[in-house]
Structure 1
Amino acid sequence: MASGITLSGVFKRFGATEVIKGIDLAIEPGEFVVLVGPSGCGKSTLLNLVAGLETLTSGDIRIGAQVVNDVPPRDRDIAMVFQSYALYPTKSVRQNITFGMQTRHVPRDRQEAALDEFSRLLQIDGLLDRKPGQLSGGQRQRVAMGRALVRQPEVFLFDEPLSNLDAKLRIEMRTEIKKLHQRLGKTVVYVTHDQIEAMTLASRIAVMDNGHIRQFAQPHEIYEDPVDLFVAGFMGSPPMNMLPGKLARDGTARAVAVEGNGAPPILFPLPGRLAARLDEPDGHEVVLGLRPEAIFAAGTELPGPDRFVFERTVGVVEPTGPDTMLVFAIGPVEAIARVRPGDAPDPGTAFSFEVDMTKAKLFDAASGLALGARTGGR
């Protein structure tokens, strides 16, 4: 049975610098939670606090029902996988995996059974007599994971374990980690700065910034209903288009007026359900958020409600394989649309874009908080 993790009022200071600023977080038993955010946001420090590698300034950390503030790392029933693999270079794969069990005086037959099970599971059973220097990066990471798995702890902690791998290996290892979690059902806390990694692995994501958790929710909620401009801009590749404007009227309907650098403003009509949730008056400064996939070539998608067509000159065309990104100026910013390769025009040509306004997000320009949001997500 996996153990949950509860953080209550957790602070961490290094000297006068406050790195973790009052975090409350409840992770359910068996969950795969990803801590994601830019470099320096505090995610690795938070993981190290759970592991016991750093001491709390204040607050409580519980693993299961036990408060572990003063419990040493070896007694917390956790296993950690690091970015650097941290393998013993002079020991074989077999010795690296079983070393921890030997120091805990686990009986030899149990050591061999665990080694056999997890080396086959990780597909490294043919590498047991090699040294780490004879392995590829992906193989070394599998050995590091095997060393953690044989402990069979209640909680696994991963600190950017794939960041040293090339793109193809990252995708492969991501899949292996997800399979392992589905098979073992243990609680996992996983740190990364890669938001695609977070979206594909997590049952819930904690988006961190400057020592705070901005939003803690399921991946689809983080992507579809970000609570503020930071989350909206950080999660997504390419990022959400952020168009500064003001609330206005298009006849009797509510809209967002986006200035056109000397040209008349573009009035983006707001869907009725979003408009009905707004308390802000006309003229209120907002930011209109549109994901690139919400902007496409006019007339290429099935008809739907709340569509809006406008024309702009395409500045840059970026083929990515299955999609092509079109970069164009709208108001004071550059925006990105995602179109099918066959729909892409030449750079420098006028192009008719269609927007699915049912996917529009609205944020207060001053506070950055979502307006008319359906969910809180915190």
Structure 2
Amino acid sequence: MASGIQLRDVRKTFGATEVIKGINLEIEPGEFVVLVGPSGCGKSTLLNLIAGLETLSGGDILIGDETVGNVPPRDRNIAMVFQSYALYPTKTVRDNITFGMQTRRIPKADQDAAVEEFSHLLQIDHLLDRKPGQLSGGQRQRVAMGRALVRKPEVFLFDEPLSNLDAKLRIEMRTEIKRLHQRLGKTVVYVTHDQIEAMTLASRIAVMDNGHIRQFGPPGEIYEDPVDLFVAGFMGSPPMNMLPGQIRQGSGGLCVAVGSGDTALEFPLPKTGIDATTLSEGRSVVLGLRPETIFAAGTELPGAERFVFERPVDVVEPTGPDTMIVFEIGGKELIARVRPEDARPVGTPFSFEVDMTKAKLFDAETGFAI
């Protein structure tokens, strides 16, 4: 059975420093929630508060219908998987998996049944008699997950479990974790600083910064409709291009003028998606353009809300399926994601086209989306 989690005005201070600043969050039973943010934003501290490894300085935490703020970790019916695996080096894989069951005096037959079930599920049944030192990083992480799974908890907590793995293995393990969640249907709270990991795993993402949650929602919503400049800049790889500019009345309607004087580019605002009634001429704004919305002119389906401009290529970065073109507008460096066959040599003039229906606009003073 899965239980939901409620955080009510949760706070945590270390000395005079407030690390978690009044967080409210409701996680549905069976949901996969990812806490993501830069180092030092408070995401691991928040996870440790849910686990009971840190004590609350204020507020309440509920798992299911039970308030657990003063309940010891062992009595919270949770299981935690750490970045460091935390395996006993002198014990076999089998004994690492069943260690918690042994201390709780679970009958041997039940231990054996749990090991058989979850070692098969995690594809480590052929490793049960080995010790951690004989395993690869990915195998150790599977053992750590097996140890968590045999407890059959209501909630799983993952603290950056894949950060010690190489890129290929990280992708494989990400798929395994997602498959496990789909099969078991348990509530998962997962901490990572990797926003690609967050996007691929989560049913909902909580983007954290400086002890606050900036935005909480499905991955698509976080990516397509960021609430502020921080979320827009943090989610996405490469990140969203940010262009400071001013609202101006152009020949075809309102636009964002980027750059100065006669060389300024006037990006026409889309007819939908941005509330133009709040925009007055001369207002300072930031125009947000995802790299994939800037492409080689004429290569996409024609549309009424496209804007074409030319700039010299500064840097070319092939990535395989795409090529990143780095260029400048008004002293700001931008990245366009184009098809490899559309790339041009450094220094060559390049005709770019922007899908303005995907443009985002932010207030320059507050940073909030308009």
Q: Is contact 1:97-1:150 (8 Å) kept?
A: yes
Amino acid at match of 2:286: V
Kindly provide the CA deviation profile for residues 203-254 of structure 1, in whole angstroms up to 9, marking residues without a partner as x: 0000000000000000000000000000000000000000000011112511
User: What is the match of residue 145 of structure 2?
Assistant: 145
Separation in structure 1 between the aligned mates of residue 116 and residue 96 of structure 2, nearest angstrom: 14
Q: Secondary structure of 2:314's partner?
A: strand
Q: Is contact 1:254-1:275 (8 Å) kept?
A: no
Deviation at 1:264, TM superposition (A): 1.8
Superposed CA RMSD in Å reads 0.9
1:359 aligns with 2:358: yes
Amino acid at match of 2:299: T
Kindly provide the CA deviation profile for residues 341-372 of structure 1, in whole angstroms up to 9, marking residues without a partner as x: 0000001010100000000000000100000x
Q: Is contact 1:316-1:326 (8 Å) kept?
A: yes
Amino acid at match of 1:211: G
Q: Secondary structure of 1:39's partner?
A: coil
1:12 aligns with 2:15: no
User: What is the match of residue 343 of structure 1?
Assistant: 342
User: What is the match of residue 30 of structure 2?
Assistant: 30
Separation in structure 1 between the aligned mates of residue 274 and residue 102 of structure 2, nearest angstrom: 64
1:296 aligns with 2:298: no
Deviation at 1:275, TM superposition (A): 4.7
1:50 aligns with 2:45: no
Separation in structure 2 between the aligned mates of residue 127 and residue 6 of structure 1, nearest angstrom: 38
Deviation at 1:276, TM superposition (A): 4.2
Deviation at 1:54, TM superposition (A): 0.1
Separation in structure 2 between the aligned mates of residue 57 and residue 275 of structure 1, nearest angstrom: 41
Kindly provide the CA deviation profile for residues 42-90 of structure 1, in whole angstroms up to 9, marking residues without a partner as x: 0000000000000000000000000000000000000000000000000
User: What is the match of residue 199 of structure 2?
Assistant: 199
Q: Secondary structure of 1:273's partner?
A: coil
Separation in structure 2 between the aligned mates of residue 114 and residue 50 of structure 1, nearest angstrom: 26
Separation in structure 2 between the aligned mates of residue 92 and residue 367 of structure 1, nearest angstrom: 56
Q: Secondary structure of 1:302's partner?
A: coil
Q: Secondary structure of 1:230's partner?
A: helix
Amino acid at match of 1:318: E
1:158 aligns with 2:170: no
Deviation at 1:303, TM superposition (A): 1.1
Deviation at 1:302, TM superposition (A): 1.1
Q: Secondary structure of 2:84's partner?
A: coil
Q: Secondary structure of 2:38's partner?
A: coil
Amino acid at match of 1:345: R
User: What is the match of residue 67 of structure 1?
Assistant: 67
Deviation at 1:108, TM superposition (A): 1.2
Separation in structure 2 between the aligned mates of residue 19 and residue 248 of structure 1, nearest angstrom: 42
Separation in structure 2 between the aligned mates of residue 252 and residue 331 of structure 1, nearest angstrom: 22
1:88 aligns with 2:88: yes
User: What is the match of residue 209 of structure 2?
Assistant: 209
Q: Secondary structure of 2:278's partner?
A: coil
User: What is the match of residue 190 of structure 1?
Assistant: 190
User: What is the match of residue 103 of structure 1?
Assistant: 103
Q: 1:110 to 1:305 in 2, by over 3 A?
A: farther
- Once the two structures are superposed, the pairs formed by residues 122-271 of structure 1 within 5 Å of their partners are 122-251=122-251, 253-259=253-259, 264-271=263-270
Amino acid at match of 2:362: F
Amino acid at match of 1:95: D
Separation in structure 1 between the aligned mates of residue 53 and residue 131 of structure 2, nearest angstrom: 28
Amino acid at match of 1:90: T
Separation in structure 2 between the aligned mates of residue 207 and residue 333 of structure 1, nearest angstrom: 26
Separation in structure 2 between the aligned mates of residue 59 and residue 230 of structure 1, nearest angstrom: 26
**TM-score, structure 2 length as denominator?**
0.99
Deviation at 1:107, TM superposition (A): 1.2
Q: Is contact 1:3-1:187 (8 Å) kept?
A: yes
Kindly provide the CA deviation profile for residues 126-155 of structure 1, in whole angstroms up to 9, marking residues without a partner as x: 000000000000000000000000000000
Q: 1:88 to 1:275 in 2, by over 3 A?
A: closer
Separation in structure 2 between the aligned mates of residue 68 and residue 294 of structure 1, nearest angstrom: 46
Q: Secondary structure of 2:239's partner?
A: coil
Q: Is contact 2:274-2:361 (8 Å) kept?
A: no
Separation in structure 2 between the aligned mates of residue 160 and residue 91 of structure 1, nearest angstrom: 24
Separation in structure 2 between the aligned mates of residue 275 and residue 179 of structure 1, nearest angstrom: 38
- Residue identity over aligned pairs, in percent, reads 78
Separation in structure 2 between the aligned mates of residue 125 and residue 252 of structure 1, nearest angstrom: 67
Amino acid at match of 2:340: P
Separation in structure 2 between the aligned mates of residue 271 and residue 155 of structure 1, nearest angstrom: 44
- Once the two structures are superposed, the pairs formed by residues 307-318 of structure 1 within 5 Å of their partners are 307-318=306-317
User: What is the match of residue 282 of structure 1?
Assistant: 281
**TM-score, structure 1 length as denominator?**
0.97
User: What is the match of residue 41 of structure 2?
Assistant: 41
Q: 1:277 to 1:106 in 2, by over 3 A?
A: farther
Kindly provide the CA deviation profile for residues 285-327 of structure 1, in whole angstroms up to 9, marking residues without a partner as x: 0000000000000000111230010000110000000000000
Amino acid at match of 2:356: M
Deviation at 1:278, TM superposition (A): 3.9
Separation in structure 1 between the aligned mates of residue 230 and residue 277 of structure 2, nearest angstrom: 21
